[in-house]
Amino acid sequence: MSPTRRQIVLGTLMGAGCLARPSFAQTVLKSSDAEAQMRGYVADASQADKARFPQYRKGQHCGNCAMFLGQPGQASAECPLFAGKQVKASGWCSAWAKSDGQ
């Protein structure tokens, strides 16, 4: 069965990147966002405000937090604390919690 004209046109456009696929990509949380500031989120854990959050320990970051919903090695992923936004694996916030895998 040969492809229809419609299939050929769509295939050509998709191959050329002319058709945008629906995107459900979330925006990445910024440390300047109000909800981030409330919890002291920073995209680089080493920049955590140690005076405000003395519980911070070197080595803690979103990527090894129990709340991080990404796979190991994933640069950013969802965190239930910040609905609709992703956090950087390298980030940190005051709700960091040790994951079972540690």
CB-nearer residue toward ligand SF4: 10 or 28: 28
Question: How far is 11 from 20, CA to CA, in rounded Å?
Answer: 13
Q: Are the CB atoms for 87 and 53 separated by under 8 Å?
A: no
Q: Give the footprint of ligand SF4 on residues 13-42 (CB under 6 A).
A: 41
CB-nearer residue toward ligand SF4: 10 or 95: 95
Question: How far is 67 from 80, CA to CA, in rounded Å?
Answer: 7
Residue 64: phi and psi, rounded to 5, are -120, 25
**Is residue 65 involved in binding ligand SF4 (CB under 6 A)?**
yes
In the complex, the residues that contact ligand SF4 under the rule CB under 6 A are 41, 62, 65, 67-68, 79, 81, 87, 91-93, 95-96
